[in-house]
């Protein structure tokens, strides 16, 4: 079975409060985009995990796809499989690529072996693997809160708009991103603001990480400003960085403009 785990962007990201367990409660709109990895699962004599493409830190046992298989195998009769991941989504880029791989592994194993795992149980598996993983089970626009692992549907349709994602190649760890954050509630309700025309978002829909990371990494602010200069209706950093994105009304090829960086561009669904 071959599946294509896709990335996500954060449209608005408010760090609300630090939790007693050390995590943070957030408020954010997660929106799926077409930048994808490829994950193939085939029956084999023994379990194995292989990754190609962008190098992934850690060994096979550390990968979330492996952990997804092991977790499901404790509850369901799974045969040994070979998992082959072709990694294209940048790592540590705020795009949720590793979380997507894990969630798609859960869904693929369920479908391929007809396990009939309920939707709620798939969500539970995903939450155990990581805060962002659960979003990729339904894999549709959502308002995410608490650790980012709880969500509700959101009225937001960007279907047909054009998105350009620019990754400057720097890895920003989640710990580094959170180190300068002072949690606080936003003055705007993201769910309400996102119902307004996209041109109104610029001064209301914020990513709290930008305030602490842009002074440290000025290039990020420069890329965001460049996206606006190229006509983006809205531009921001996704997650804890380092990918920036711009949303445009019409198709726009910016691959040459950002030639020194990794660029993905395509239509939003």
For the annotated binding site for ATP, the residues are 90-100
CA distance 140 to 136: 8
CA distance 78 to 5: 21
Name the residue among 30, 37, 36, 106 with its Cα closest to residue 73.
106
The 8-class DSSP code of residue 207 comes to: B
- β-strand partners of 165: 245, 264
Q: Give the distance, in angstroms, between the CA of residue 229 and the centroid of all CA atoms in the same chain.
A: 25
Beta strands 38-43 and 2-3: pairing type? Answer: antiparallel
Residue-wise burial string across 165-184, b where 16 or more C-beta atoms lie within 10 A, e elsewhere: bbbbeeebeeebbbeebeee
Active-site entry in 132, 149, 208, 224: 132
Beta strands 24-36 and 6-18: pairing type? Answer: antiparallel
Tokens 């990494």 sit at which residue?
Answer: 217
Is residue 132 among the annotated active site residues?
yes
Name the residue among 92, 69, 119, 54 with its Cα closest to residue 176.
92
DSSP labels for 122-140?
A: HHHHHHHH-TTGGGGTT-S
User: Which residues contribute to the annotated binding site?
Assistant: 90-100
Element holding 93 (H helix, E strand): none
Is residue 44 among the annotated active site residues?
no
Question: Which residues carry out catalysis?
Answer: 8, 132
């Amino acid at each position: 079975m071959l599946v294509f785990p896709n990335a996500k962007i954060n449209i608005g990201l408010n760090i609300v409060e630090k939790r007693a367990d050390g995590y943070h409660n957030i408020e954010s709109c997660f929106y799926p985009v077409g930048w994808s990895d490829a994950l193939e699962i085939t029956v084999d004599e023994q379990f194995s995990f292989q990754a190609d493409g962008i190098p992934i830190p850690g060994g096979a046992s550390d990968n979330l796809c492996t952990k997804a298989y092991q977790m499901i195998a404790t509850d369901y009769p799974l045969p040994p499989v070979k998992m082959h991941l072709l990694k294209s989504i940048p790592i540590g880029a705020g795009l949720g690529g590793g979380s997507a791989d894990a969630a798609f592994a859960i869904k693929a194993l369920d479908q391929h072996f007809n396990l009939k795992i309920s939707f709620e149980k798939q969500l539970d598996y995903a939450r155990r693997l990581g805060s962002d993983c659960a979003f990729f089970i339904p894999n549709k626009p959502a308002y995410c809160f608490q650790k980012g692992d709880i969500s509700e549907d959101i009225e937001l349709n960007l279907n047909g708009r054009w998105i350009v994602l620019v990754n400057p190649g720097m890895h920003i760890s989640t710990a580094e991103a959170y180190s300068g954050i002072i949690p606080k509630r936003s003055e705007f309700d993201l769910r309400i603001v996102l119902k307004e025309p996209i041109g109104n978002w610029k001064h209301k829909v914020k990513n709290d990480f930008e305030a602490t990371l842009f002074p440290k990494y000025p290039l990020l602010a420069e890329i965001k400003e460049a996206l606006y200069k190229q006509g983006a209706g809205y531009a921001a950093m996704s997650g804890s960085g380092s990918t920036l994105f711009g949303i445009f009304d019409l198709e726009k090829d910016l691959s040459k403009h950002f030639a020194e960086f990794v660029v993905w561009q395509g239509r939003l669904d």
